[in-house]
Structure formats: structure tokens, C-alpha cells
A and B are shown apart, each in its own frame.
Chain A
Amino acid sequence: MKFLRKKVDKIKPHFEEGGRFYFLHSVFDGFETFLFVPDHVTKKGAHIRDAIDMKRTMIIVVGALMPALLFGIYNTGLQHFIATGQAQEFWPIISYGLIKVLPLIVVSYGVGLGIEFAFAQVRRHEINEGFLVTGMLIPLIVPADIPLWMLALATAFAVIIGKEVFGGTGMNILNPALTARAFLFFAYPSWMSGDKIWVSGMMNGEGIVDGYSGATLLAQSATGASEFVNGLGEKVSHLDMLIGTIPGSVGETSVIAILIGALILLVAGIGSWRIMFSTLAGGIVMGLLLNTFAVNAAMEVAWFEQLMIGGFAFGMVFMATDPVTGAQTNKGKYIYGFLIGFLAILIRVLNPAYPEGMMLAILLMNVFAPLIDHLVVQQNIKKRLKRSVSSAKS
């Protein structure tokens, strides 16, 4: 450790003001603080500070995404092997999944961090850790076969338009990862919807078993199928939905993997339990309402199945809980979460053109979160005002 520190101290002057590589000082700083927690001490206010910082917060979220990612790698391979009718052996499945998924991660991080570094440099601030999470979320919410240049474009769009134009991490209005997905959804709909994109290898169509259908359960529900079937026409059990061996975006199919992530976030106190809980409640309420007044097959999909298919669970745990774009007050979080769950199922069922209601519901509520907070705070303000008027009278 001493050795490493000495090395860093030795090259540090080159990156400081007047040094040869001053133009790279933010990048250097980023790497230095990655290696070492800085030796900065408190100068004002409280002399001791909590040991937590943004890096640790973000890295725990990335850690919570790992189960979903690992399962996503497996499932990408598995779906491909089912579709092509090959023997389902573990290691070939994993290696196929890795070949498909790793490039997505590399592109997402490469493009996003590159832009982050550039902005940090120009604006002369430290590099924000926010993208560590965004960069992991983006590959998990796209189909495995998405062309890498599209992903790069979407990531750039999300970071620049979704975040940096507002002032960087902490200032953005919309969740950047969902901004990337929305960009892809509207710019390249043929790569983000339909029956072929969700199973790796179907777009180029080679070696696919005859009669195999890659429709997701969500798509099946929207088209009014009476029961969920897999690509070969066999019935999909609830256990399959929980485990996640169904077609879909890379990281969003496995409810169990997502719940492990949720547990990590809740134990660490980083994901808001208020938002997760109320999103779930909103989804259940809408699901039950639709079931009660069901007039078509889409509305008849059982409320608990609604929670297991599509991006509902993933959005609930990892997207809705984004503290920057969500409601900030505790009361507001309940309202915000509830409306996300409620609207997600509503959009999904009543507007089959946009089966992925979760994404739209969260983006919509991102926009309304400040309004919700405003209303909550207004209550507090009114109370204070009333108190002040009544004390002036007495």
C-alpha cells in the first residue's frame, strides 16, 4: 500500500495546475480517489463525519444488480439454446451469454464514463459516481441483441441530454437509464419491440427451431392470449416466472434475482423501502381493479402475474427508487411509488401499443415528483402559517 501511495504521489504533480497533464486532472483525481479515500479532513461544521460516501453508496447498488446481471447472462444463453433447439448445457450457455452481454456492459460504461470524464474536466469538478449505477442499469434493460452502436448512441443521449444538461449527477429530472431505454424505444422501435428481439439470435434468424415464437409474456398478455406459453408453445409456470427463464430484457426476467438485489438495498438502507412498498401496493391495487372489471384477456391476467412479468419488479427495485429523480419527502415517496405501480399496470393493460408500462410510468412520475414534493411541503408550510396566525391573534 505504501508503495502504491508513493507511486501516486510521485506522478501527482504532473496533473496539478501547471503540470504537463493538467488537462487530465479530473481523470487522475477519479482514479486516485478510486484507489485511496482522500486525506481531506473536516474544515467547517461537524468535526466527524459518517464513513459513508457516494462511492460506497453507488457500489452497493451495483452489487445489488449483480444477481440480476449473472442470471441475465445465463438466461440470454438459455433462451438462445432453447430457440435453436441445442442441448442445454451449463457452460456453453454461460459462454454464449457472456459473449452477448459483456460487450453491452463495456460499451455502456465506455461511452458513459468517457462523457462523464469529459464533462468533469470541462466543469472542473470531481467525477461523479452516479454513472457507475446507470452504466450497469442500461445493459440490463435492453434486449441482448441490440446493436452496440445503438446502445452507444442511447447511452450518450442519456448522459448528455438526460443528465449533464441539467448540471450532472444529482440535478437530473429523468432517470438516465430509462432515458436511454426510452430513446431506443422511440428511435429504433423495431429493435425494442416485437416477437423476435427478446431471444438472442432470432433477429438474424439462423438455426431457429421451426414454429418457435420469441414473444414475451407481456406481449402475449397484450395480444390477449388465454395462457402464457413459451416459444415452443408449452405452458409457462409461475415458478418459471419467478426464476426468470423466460424471454425478455437481459436483467429483468428473474424476480428472484431482483428480490435478492432488493434485499441488499433494503438492508443497506440505500433503496427506499417506502417507494418499493408503495409501488408494489399500487401495482396490486391496479391489478385487482382490472381483474374485477375484466372485459378482455389482457385485463384477466392475474394481478400477481402482472407483478412477475415485464419490467415491473426491476423497475420497482432499481428504477423507481432512484433518489435523484424520485420524490424526496417521505410522504411524497408513498404517493410517488403508489402512482408508479398503479400507472404501470394501467398503461400496460389498456394501451397494448406500449406494453412496457413500467418505463413510461416511472418516467412520467419522475416528471411529477417535484410536484408531489411541493404539495407535501405545502402542508407543512400551511401548518406553520396557521400556527403563526393563531398565535398572533392570541
Chain B
Amino acid sequence: MDKTIRIRKGVDIDIKGKAQSIVIADHNPELFSLKPTDFFGLVPKLNHKEGEKIKQGEAVFFDKYRPEIVFVSPVSGVISKVVRGDKRKMLEIIIEKSDESGKVEFNISNDDLKDAEAIKKLFLQSGIWPYLQQRPYGIVANPEIKPRDIFISMFDSAPLAPDFDFILNSSKEEINLALKTLKLLTDGDVYLSFKKDSRLVDLIENKENYKINYFSGPHPAGLHGTQINKIKPINKGEVVWTVNATDLPIIGGFLSTGVYNPERIVALTGSEVKEPAYYKTIVGADLSQFLKSKLKTDENVRVISGNVLTGSNISHSRFLGFFDNMITVIPEGNKHELFGWALPGFNKLSLSTTFMSKLFPRKKFAPDTNLHGGVRAYVVTGQYEEVCPMDLYPQLLIKAILAEDIDKMEQMGIYEIIEEDFALCEFACTSKIDVQEIVRTGLNLMIKEMS
């Protein structure tokens, strides 16, 4: 049953600052944040006001249109601030830690873990539910729909991504408990996709309960979208769930202790980090103090929660995102470059062979955030196809989205993708088009049309 699926299209972007395989220290700050912006298609409603006490695991806000889905506090403390943006859009809820408020504890019996309805209820009440993401659309799973299958990628192929073999190694029990429980939530299968030669597979008990696949090849081999497309693509009307492997210990930990305790090992990476390594911390942790001693310079850098392709910019409000298992710090690129488009470019990171840097294939780059040119209409073709292994036409799908042609979008496979699947296309684009934003616009349009 085991087989290796080889991904041919794509590219591993080799940049400086990969984390060494050591966990240096625990990082336990005073402030934490929950960001409604980490979840798409969500209209958050607060359960608490500023200044109110909150327990660890108590709901901070819920989804206005699906009130059963709640988002809970990672620590016990006080809601210190609600940060809002334009049109009073809720951006961040900041929680100040204090041990007085206590924890929400669930009594989980073994019987509970045998019944799908009971598990679902438990996940919804405890705030575990948002870790279940659904496709199509890349939103928090709809509790009313039983998924066709559940897909879990057991590796990350993104630039500087943490090594799952290393960070999941110590959570064998939790991972198995989480997997066993998730299996009950679908009538289909739980698909586990490992990197070829990964030793993580040895951690899995009762392998016959899951469908195990191996992947080899460059990024985006580790993305759920790629794996689903290669294993069992999503058809119109079908729903599948995806769960990040690095969230399995949190789910399993909750199931065994009854307490929501979102601890996670994250990689601190990037060319501006002194010693890239792993740190144990908590979802939503404040990183501002922490980073001060870890960066080569704090001037003119971009701090990213996540990887350089899909992460969110947290330069100004440095809290770890809900799903993120890495922090990347790279230089900002806000400088002019004389005749930059004409120079030989020994230091230019590019997939094209138009720069001299191609002569040094093993070279590692320290790219900055410069856009490297102006935004143009599409001219070059075939670029997206080179880095997208999915069986669809990325550039034409993007054009269908731009034209808001619902039928075309559906026919061309919009149900199979979310933003991250086209992130490499965005990186490669000569015309500097914001592909991921267009994908999200298209997905939002579909959500609106289909509801």
C-alpha cells in the first residue's frame, strides 16, 4: 500500500538561516494574542470585554455565523486590549497572563472517545475545533458536514520550514491519540503523507488504520493541496479536512489531560537571526522581547509568523500566529538599486536563468522583501505551470478569478486550492501580481455564491 509519489514541478528556495536541530529554551512571555485574521471567512464576536478575567481554555470570541465555533484563550489571564483596524475590524485580542484566573478542565472518559458526536462536541467546546481546516475554501471546518477524508501532511517543504521529524519526535502518545480520535470524525480515511525516508512513520501505531503515502521532490510537495491533488482530488460538493501535523500534539494533549494547553515547538529562522534554532512556546505568544536578543539587527527587518511565502507580517505587532510553527526574520528591501534590472546579478535569487547567480547552484541567498520591479499585466506564460504540480492551469484559473467567472473557476478547479498552493507562482511571477490575494478573493466569491 505504501508508495512514493514524486513531485516534479516546484522548487526548493534555498535561503540562509535554517534552524539547527536543538531546542534552546522555553519562551513564556507575559502577553499573548488571538488573531481573528488567522481564520478566513470569520466574523468574530467577543465573549468578553477588555479588562475581564479569562481562564485558560475559555472562549474569547466566536464566529457570528457559526456560534458553536469558539476560539479560546491559550493562557489564564486578563483581556488587556482589543486591537481594531479600519471599519472597527477586530485584528487582535491581547491577553495578559496571570495564573489567578484558572483553567477550564474537561472530564474526558474513554467512552467519549468512541463516539463521533461526543468528540465533535468536545472539540467545539474546548476550542480545539479551529485546528480542523476544511477544503474547499481553507476555512475552519463546518461542524455540520462530515468530511470525505482527513489529510495530514507529516512534513513541511516550505523555505526554512521546521523539521517535523525533530519537533514531533517527543509527542508520540499525543499524536497517536489525536489520530485515533480524528479517524472517528470521518467515514472515509485519514491520509498521512510523509516525506520519503522520514523516520516519523515509526511513531505511528496501528498503521493499518490510516492511508500512508510518501512524497519526494521539491516544495510544494509538503502542502496539503498538492498531496490531496495527487492522492484523491476534491470534487465539486465534497469536503475534506486538513490538520497541521504540528497541531496534533495540542489535540492529543487535550484529549489525554482535558486541558487546552497549546504548547508548540517553533523554529526561529531567517538570515537576520543570530542563531537559528527551535524554541518551545505557546500559540499566540508575544515575541517582541524575545526577539530583541535573538536578532542580528532590529532595524529594518521583516518579522514573519510562518514562512517567507505564506506567513503573515508581524513586524509591528509581534505575536505568533495560531497555526504557525516558525518565525522568519529577513531584511526589508526598501532601497533603490541603480540599474538593478540590467546588472549581472550575482546575488539575485531567481528561478530564471537571467542572472549570473545561476552559475552557483549551491549558493544560499539572503533575499529581502523588495518587489524587484513594477506590477504589470500578464505577459510571460508558462511560469506558474513550472512551479505548480497540481493538475490544473494556474494562470488561467487566476484569470478566471479576475474575470469573476464563477462557472469557469469551478470548472478549472478552484475547490482544490487555497492561497498557499499558489504561493510559489506568486514568488515566480515576472509581472509581480499578488496571486495569493486573488485566490482568496476567488474563494470568498465562491463562498458567497454557494451559500
Contact = CB atoms under 8 A, between A and B. Distances in A.
Q: Do A and B come from one complex?
A: yes
B426 A46 contact: yes
A299 to B, nearest CB: 36
A107 to B, nearest CB: 25
B338 A1 contact: yes
Contact of B342 (A5, A56, A392): A56
A326 B380 CA distance: 10
Contacts of A47: 302, 304, 308-309, 311, 313, 328, 330, 369
A392 B237 CA distance: 9
Nearest to A40: B371
Nearest to A170: B377
A49 B432 contact: yes
B235 A51 contact: no
Contacts of B237: 388, 392
Interface in A316-339: 323-324, 326, 328-330, 333
A167 interface: yes
Contacts of B374: 33, 38, 40, 53-54, 126
Contacts of B413: 380, 384
B235 A168 contact: no
B302 A37 contact: no
A39 B431 contact: no
A323 B375 CA distance: 17
Interface string B292-312: 000000000010100011110
A37 B370 contact: yes
B31 interface: no
A45 B432 CA distance: 11
B336 A44 contact: no
A167 B381 CA distance: 18
B439 to A, nearest CB: 9
9 contacts: A39-B335, A47-B308, A48-B309, A50-B429, A128-B376, A272-B382, A328-B381, A328-B396, A384-B411
Nearest to B439: A45
Please provide the 6 A-B residue pairs with the shortest distance between their CB atoms, ordered closest to farther.
A53-B373, A170-B377, A37-B340, A388-B235, A51-B348, A45-B436
Contact of B367 (A45, A48, A171, A391): A48
Size bin of chain B's contact surface: 35 or more
Contact of B330 (A48, A56, A167, A381): A48
Size bracket of the A interface: 35 or more
Interface string B410-435: 01110000010001001111111011
Interface of A: 1, 4-5, 33, 35-42, 44-57, 59-60, 126, 128-130, 167-171, 267-270, 272, 323-324, 326, 328-330, 333, 373, 377, 380-381, 383-385, 387-388, 391-392
Nearest to A376: B393
Interface string B320-345: 00000000101011111111111001
Contacts of A50: 349-352, 372, 427-430
A126 B328 CA distance: 32
B391 interface: yes
A37 B337 contact: yes
A102 B81 CA distance: 68
B12 interface: no
A175 B311 CA distance: 40
B115 interface: no
